[in-house]
Amino acid sequence: MKLIEKYNIKEEDLYSIGVIEAKKASSSFFEKEKLKAKSLGILKPYNVKFMDLGILLDEIKAQGYHANQALIEKYGNIDIETVPTSMGLKYVVTILIVLITVFFVFSQIGGNNSIPDDWKGKKLYSVVDGRAWIIINDDNTFTLHEYIPNSEETYEWNGKIKNMELITSKPLSYHGRNDYKPTEIDSKIEMMDIGGKFLRINFKGFNTISGSYETDGRNYTPENRSPF
């Protein structure tokens, strides 16, 4: 069943909407919005469902009522300025409900990328060498610890994690004695789930006299838990 029949739209209203929708083709964006409000004003008594609205307007436009000579002779010219306007409050409310629902769903999905609660307050060690670690507290404050054994250097950063990003007043970088290029730590951290969950923090430009690694991805996991 066509929506025109479903909502039992009167012939005169179909003609008026047809004229308005046809005029939208040669109108600016703001004029189109004003004309759309006119169409909504005509449809207001019919209680058209939000999901049907766009389809119904397209259906009316496709019927070419505005060019039907019999209707033109019957109803004459339409004074669009006198057509009642509706801002479609019920449709705005529906859109807001949809947006809020989508936001809630994606917020829940995004939550899966957060730090597991049972990891809070524990030292998460670097999987490869176990010399670097990070502690993330219940309030999402953190301490990141880096130890360079060959030069016996220790570096440490304190701050807070927000949206899976390390926020700290101290620059996330260091220049070891045996390094000829500073090491920069990417503030964005990831929760990986490949064979088991672990955090990944990228150390960029880790260059020493004995080797060169453009990106040294540090994987952190609780001491008694392996990601493999």
pTM to 2 decimals? 0.47
The pLDDT of residue 137 = 93
For residue 148, which of 180, 176, 123 has the smallest C-alpha distance? 176
The pLDDT of residue 209 = 45
Could you identify the residue written with the tokens 């430009």?
205
* 97 pLDDT more than 60: no
C-alpha 159/C-alpha 137 separation (Å) is 11
C-alpha 71/C-alpha 172 separation (Å) is 73
List, for residues 47-91, the tens digit of each pLDDT value.
888 678 778 888 898 899 989 999 988 998 888 888 877 654 444
Judge whether 144 and 123 are in contact, CB under 8 Å.
no
The pLDDT of residue 156 = 93
The pLDDT of residue 55 = 85
Domain boundaries, the chain: 3-111, 117-222
pLDDT band at 159 (very low <50, low <70, confident <90, very high): very high
Of residues 12 and 41, more confidently modeled? 12
**Three-class HEC string of the chain:** CCHHHHCCCCHHHHHHHHHHHHHHCCCCHHHHHHHHHHHHHHHHHHCCCHHHHHHHHHHHHHCCHHHCHHHHHHHCCCCHHHCCCCCCHHHHHHHHHHHHHHHHHHHHHHHCCCCCHHHCCCEEEECCCCCCEEEECCCCEEEEEEEECCCCEEEEEEEEECCCEEECCCCCEECCCCEEECEEEEEEEEEEECCCEEEEEEEEEEEECCEEEEEEEEEEEECCCCCC
The pLDDT of residue 214 = 53
